[in-house]
Every structure is written in C-alpha cells, then in structure tokens.
Amino acid sequence: MGLRTQLLLVSLTTLLLPWAGCHYVQEMEQALRQNQSQALLQQARLLGQLVQTADLPPDPGSAVFYTPRRYQPVQVDGYDDDWQNHLSTTLAPGVSLQKALYNDHLYLLLKVATDRIQYHDPGLDFSHSDHLRFTTHDGQEQRQWVLFTSGPGQLQAYQWLRQRRELHPSQALKVWWQETHSGFNVEIRIATRALKDHLVLDLYRAQQAGQPAVKTASSRTSPSGQGDRWLQPIPALAGLLQDQRTHQLDAVLVSPQGWPLSPQRDWVSQPPELPSPTTPENLLNEGMSRFYRLLIDLLTPRGSQSPWPLSEEELSHAQGRFEVERLPLTDTARAGWYQLQDQRRSALLVSQPLYDGGTLSGYLLLSQTGDALISLTNDALRRVTHLTLGVLGLVIATLVTFASSLSWRIRKLKRSAEDAISTDGKVHPFQPSRHADEIGDLSRSYHHLLQRVQGYTEYLETLNGKLAHELRTPLAIVKSSLELAQSCPGQTEYLQRAETGIERLRQILSAMSEASRVEQTIQHTEHREFDLVPLIQGLAAAYSDAYPEHHFSTDIRLPRALLQGSPELMAQLLDKLVDNARSFTPPGAGISLGLEQSGHQRLLWVRNQGSQLPDRLQGQLFDSLVSRRDQQQKGDTPHLGLGLYIVRLIAEAHHGQVQARNLPDGGGVEFSIQLPD
C-alpha cells in the first residue's frame, strides 16, 4: 500500500466529525418530532370540539352506499372521460361502478365487460332483456326505477309501480346507454331529493333471447336487509376543515367504520403546484438536500418507523373507506410517525376519537408531513457538513500533496538505485539528494555505498592483470632455480613435481590475463563486415581434425550471414564454447554447431551430448570465476570459470545475448548466441 493511500486512509478518520454532527442533528430531529406531535395532538383536540358542533350521522355500519363529492360537472353521455380520477368499485367479475355527488345530483357510471348485449325487444317484457334496477327506500316507502333500451343512446327511465305491476315513465333520471369496445356503459344522473336513506343498483342479464334475465351484479354489500345505507359527506364540515388542509397539513373526519364524513378536497379549483425552475442553483440545492437526507437515513436504524398504514397519503382526497383496522386506534388521542411510500419522507398521523353521549361517532384524522422539519434539520446539517467537509477537504488535499511529494521522491530514489548498477555489474553515476530529511539521508547513504562498490568493482576488474604481473616475477625466479637444481643428481622426481606445479601456475596466470586481454582487444578492435557461414564451416572442420575423439557436425540453415564485428573474436568465442562442450561430452559422442534465423535475429548455437546444467547455475554460468566442473572433470588443466565469461564479453561486443539451456529429454546442453540481423 503506497504512502498516498495510507495517508488518505488516515485522513478519512476526520469523517468522524460529520458522523458526530449527523448524530447531533438526528437527536435534534427527534426532539423536533416530539414537539410537533404534541402540537398536532393539541390542535386535534381543539378541532374535534368544533367538529362535534355539527350534526354527525349515527354509525351506518359496514353496509354503506358511499358517494364521494366532486367539484366539476359531469356530462351524461355514457363515456368515462369525466370519471378518470374517481374510485371504481367492482360489483362482479367484469362489472364496476363509479359514484359521485355534484351539487344536488347523484351520478353513477356502470361499466360492463361483455361480448354480447341483449337489447329490449318491444314484443317481449323488459325482464327478457339486459336492464338495471335502481331502488331507494327509507324502511317505509320504496321507489324503484327500471332502465332498459332497444339500442345505444339516451333512454327513457321507468318507475316500477310494484302494486299495479306496471311501468310509468319518469323524468327524475337522465340515463345514457353507450356501447364500448369491451361491452357497454350506463351513466345515470338523479336528483338527491328523489332518494331515500338506502340505495341499491342491480344488473340483470339475459343469457339467451326470449328467456328472463337474471341478476348478475349488485351494489348491495350485505346479503340481508333492504339495501345499503346511503352515506355522503356532510357539507357543513367543509368550512371547519378547510383551514386545516394545506400543503403540509391535512384533515378528515371518518365514521367508526372508516367512511369519510367530511367532503373531499376540491383539487380542481386549487392552483396547481408549479415546479421550481430548473436553474443550476435549484438543482444544486435539491441535490444537496437529498444528500443530507441520505446521511440522516443512513444513521437512522432500519425499521425505526412503520410504513404508512393507509392506502391514501392525502387524507382529504380519499373517495372510499379508510382501513381503520390498520390504525392503532384507542379511546384517547394518539400520534405516530410513519414512512411514506416514496421512502424519502415521513409523516405524522394523529387520531382523535369523537364521542356523542358516550357513543363513538367517528375519528378525526390529521396528518402532517415532515417537510418543514426536514428543512430545519437540513439547514443544521448543511452547516455542520459544510464546515466538516471544508476541513476534511483541506486535510485530504494537504496530506495527498505531501504523500505525492514523498512518493515521487521515493520513486526517484528507487529508479536511481536500480539504474546505478547495470546488469553486467558496471556502476553508473548516482546523484544524491540535497534534502535534509530521512529520505535525503537514505539517498546520501546509497551514494556512499555505491562509491565503495564502484571502487571494489574497479579493483576486481584489474585484479587479474595485477596478479598475473606480480606472480610472473617469482615464478621466473622459481623456474630458473629449478633449472639450476637439475644439474644436481638424485633430485629428478622432485624437480618434475615442481615443474608440473609451475606449469599449472603458468596456465592459471595465462587464463587470468586472457580475460583482461580480451576486454582490451574488444575496446581496440575495429569492426568490419564478414560472413559467419564460412567461418563456422572452417572451424568445424578444424575441430574435427583436432579432436578426433568427438564427432563434430554442422547445421547451417542460412546461405549467408553477414555480421559487423571481428571474425577473430567470433572464432575465439566458438573455441571457448567448443572447449567447454568437450569437457562435458563423453568420448565418441557428438558436438554440433548451427546457425539459423529466429525472427529478426540470427541464432548461433553449440550443442553437446552429456550431463545437464544444474538449475541453480543457469543464470550465473557467464559470470566471472564461475565453474561447474567437479574434480574429475577438471583434469590436469586448471579451469577458473573465465571461458564462458569471455564468451559473454565477445557476444555483447557484437550486440548479442548469450544463454544456456538443457535440451529436452536429457539430451545434453545448448549454448546459444542471439545476434542482430
């Protein structure tokens, strides 16, 4: 892990500051929510006392024919264009009913999905055709209208006089029968003064022509009784609750069973809420607000708020029954915070029970969103976050800059240290740092170390010549003394041993001085163009004559191989490789020389049969004073590990690279030189 990453991780500890600030803002939000709950509970108590001054209806029970109020006229034409925002109730599969009150009229839209319509045949009774029966009664008096037609369009409604069993035309209803692509619609308008306390709408369908129609759908929710109780909003409550219905606050009065008793809000006449102009400033504020709420939500434990229990988030817009059984209703007022369905806002819901003479007459429900509270917490969180992020940004920028400076200096020191010593062991100049810190001290320590390494390397490079020069003089004295001692009788055996040792010392000195001579020869030799092919062929023939105990062969796959260099040095290179191969090749085995094209380079190789290279020496064979011969392989001639070192020097002088590898299946060893094309 780099310094910049480490310092960046260290700087992230400053994030504890916004974490602590968010917790502080969260606690402040909880306190504000408690205060808001107490204020709304007090408001619900006062409003409940005002609402009880109105004449509230008795509990209608669960069987209710509820009609919400609307605030725009309806054109009775059989189409559903005016009913897009109204609640639809399913009476039977494929049959739905929509209801509404406007001024002093009740409007109904019945939708029937069918592929067959049995219109009225004037020659038959209406009961043999598809028709509707609309019934109203108050327990004493009953009125029933029958709706049927011979074709689509406006139809004549008939009042059914049960005692006389006859139909009487009625102008109390305006009805339109309209065919649709999926069946037919029936739209009805009737004055409220013609209606009683209970309402029932029944649909009769004739299964086949000429057969009596049977009832297939009904608005009756209770299987027993005379029909459902007609329940409509109380107009007097509209004025009492109007001031409590704002953008953030909403109120509704419901019956004990959950039916809205207060009129629905007029959403048509209200001015539409225009979205804020999409300026960069507004977009930035919106994005920051979402970011702040995200911080609060991340710190708020999951499940700390229950989901909104009602199907409608806006209470005054509900057109059907509230599921009051999902609310934690009690005998006293209760307040609770809930998470709205969009998961980004919270709302406070207060339920205030209303009693009339000890009897429960309904519930007053008030809701208030947390937008104002969110605005306050956002402002507080914005101040905390801006301050913390400013400090955090400054700290991170400073640490990253400092870490980048350190990282750059360390990388520079690393590159300089790697380039100070080349692959061939040469020491290049190293520029130490001038900074008076730990990294500067380390750079200067490297500089002093490399100076000592360079001096030692130069000493090793001249050691061969110095040893050869220093040892020649005493060897000459020893040799001359031995020559004089030969005249003494009886010392022949000892003299021979001494001469053998002196000869071995001479060969050692010759080998050591040869490496130095080769380096000097490489530096002063002029390169010229020559052909490798005849050179290899001639040397192979000479090797075959000079060393008959081995079989020499050539594998030259190029007609010509022109090279810029020294043919004498290349001959010396092959001499060293062949001499090395002979040392490890059993008598009678083969040694081959080859030349081939390998990509954009020429590959010169010498292969021999015999033992393989140890893995630990394959990367060191071409270094100075490295040998893999054991005592049996050394023989009488000393080997100092300078032969392959000379091979590497000559190959590099010709811009080539030398390498060694074991042949597959233990077949021997290959030494190859890659030469430029």
pLDDT confidence of residue 632: 42
Range 486-521 burial, b when 16+ CB lie within 10 A, else e = eeeeeeeeeeeebeeeeeebeebbebbbbbbebeeb
User: Is-contact 142 233, C-beta < 8 A?
Assistant: no
- Is residue 344 in a domain? yes
Residues 629-642 have pLDDT tens digits of 544 444 445 455 67
Exposed/middle/buried for 378, CB within 10 Å: 0-12, 13-18, 19+?
buried
Question: Higher pLDDT residue, 482 or 675?
Answer: 675
Exposed/middle/buried for 588, CB within 10 Å: 0-12, 13-18, 19+?
exposed
- Is residue 416 in a domain? no
Q: Considering only CA atoms, which of 414, 406, 319, 422 is closest in space to residue 85? A: 319
CATH number of the domain to which 622 belongs: 3.30.565.10
- Is residue 407 in a domain? no
Picking from 133-142, 178-187, 289-298, 407-416, which range would have the lowest pLDDT averaged per residue? 289-298
Written as one string, the DSSP assignment of 538-584 is: HHHHHHHHH-TTSEEEEEE--S--EEEE-HHHHHHHHHHHHHHHHHH
- Domain containing 368: what range? 7-56+235-265+283-379
- Is residue 432 in a domain? no
Q: Give me the percent of the chain exceeding a pLDDT of 70.
A: 76
Name the β-bridge partners of 350: 335, 366
Confidence of residue 296 (pLDDT cuts 50, 70, 90): low
User: Are both 490 and 548 inside the same structural domain?
Assistant: no
- Is residue 119 in a domain? yes
Q: Would the pLDDT of 332 be above 80?
A: yes
Residues 23-57 have pLDDT tens digits of 776 777 777 778 888 888 998 898 888 888 777 88
Residues 514-555 have pLDDT tens digits of 666 777 777 778 888 999 999 999 999 999 989 999 999 999
User: Are both 107 and 254 inside the same structural domain?
Assistant: no
DSSP state for residue 311 in the 8-state scheme: S
Residues 367-401 have pLDDT tens digits of 887 665 565 566 666 676 677 777 777 777 777 78
Name the β-bridge partners of 338: 306, 347
Instruction: Write down which residue in 469, 492, 514 finishes a domain.
Output: 514
Q: Would the pLDDT of 323 be above 60?
A: yes
- Is residue 664 in a domain? yes
CATH number of the domain to which 207 belongs: 2.60.40.1190
Which pTM value belongs to this model?
A: 0.54
Instruction: Measure the CA–CA gap between 352 and 553, rounded to whole angstroms.
Output: 112
User: Is-contact 673 573, C-beta < 8 A?
Assistant: yes
Q: Would the pLDDT of 409 be above 90?
A: no
Is residue 197 classed as helix, strand or coil in its secondary structure? coil
Strand 590-598 vs strand 551-556: parallel, antiparallel, or unpaired? parallel
User: Are both 460 and 594 inside the same structural domain?
Assistant: no
Indicate the residue type of 388.
T
Instruction: For residue 553, report the phi and psi dihedrals to the nearest 5 degrees.
Output: -145, 160
CATH number of the domain to which 330 belongs: 3.30.450.20
- Is residue 448 in a domain? yes
DSSP state for residue 383 in the 8-state scheme: H
User: Is-contact 222 200, C-beta < 8 A?
Assistant: no
DSSP state for residue 247 in the 8-state scheme: S
User: Are both 533 and 653 inside the same structural domain?
Assistant: yes
User: Is-contact 243 262, C-beta < 8 A?
Assistant: no
Question: Higher pLDDT residue, 630 or 88?
Answer: 88
User: Are both 32 and 129 inside the same structural domain?
Assistant: no
Tokens of 68: 């919400």
pLDDT confidence of residue 227: 63
Instruction: Write down which residue in 514, 548, 579 finishes a domain.
Output: 514
Q: Which helix (H) or strand (E) holds 384?
A: helix 371-420
Tokens of 458: 């130069």
Q: What Rg, from alpha-carbon coordinates, does the chain have? A: 55
Question: Higher pLDDT residue, 582 or 458?
Answer: 582
User: Is-contact 131 148, C-beta < 8 A?
Assistant: yes
User: Are both 300 and 333 inside the same structural domain?
Assistant: yes
User: Are both 106 and 46 inside the same structural domain?
Assistant: no
User: Are both 641 and 507 inside the same structural domain?
Assistant: no
Q: Considering only CA atoms, which of 595, 612, 584 is closest in space to residue 672? A: 595
Q: Which helix (H) or strand (E) holds 145?
A: strand 142-147
Q: Give me the percent of the chain exceeding a pLDDT of 90.
A: 28
Q: How wide is the angle at C-alpha 379 spanned by C-alphas 375 and 384, nearest 5°?
A: 145
Instruction: Measure the CA–CA gap between 663 and 609, rounded to whole angstroms.
Output: 9
- Is residue 410 in a domain? no
User: Are both 355 and 444 inside the same structural domain?
Assistant: no
pLDDT confidence of residue 633: 47
User: Are both 222 and 310 inside the same structural domain?
Assistant: no
Please tell me the chain's helix, strand, coil percentages from 3-state DSSP, rounded to the nearest 5. 40, 25, 35
How many domains does the structure of the chain reveal? 4
User: Are both 106 and 210 inside the same structural domain?
Assistant: yes
Q: Considering only CA atoms, which of 91, 127, 148 is closest in space to residue 213? A: 127
Instruction: Measure the CA–CA gap between 460 and 281, rounded to whole angstroms.
Output: 75
User: Are both 361 and 459 inside the same structural domain?
Assistant: no
pLDDT confidence of residue 617: 62
Instruction: Measure the CA–CA gap between 406 and 49, rounded to whole angstroms.
Output: 75
User: Is-contact 106 160, C-beta < 8 A?
Assistant: no
Name the β-bridge partners of 672: 605, 659
DSSP state for residue 265 in the 8-state scheme: P
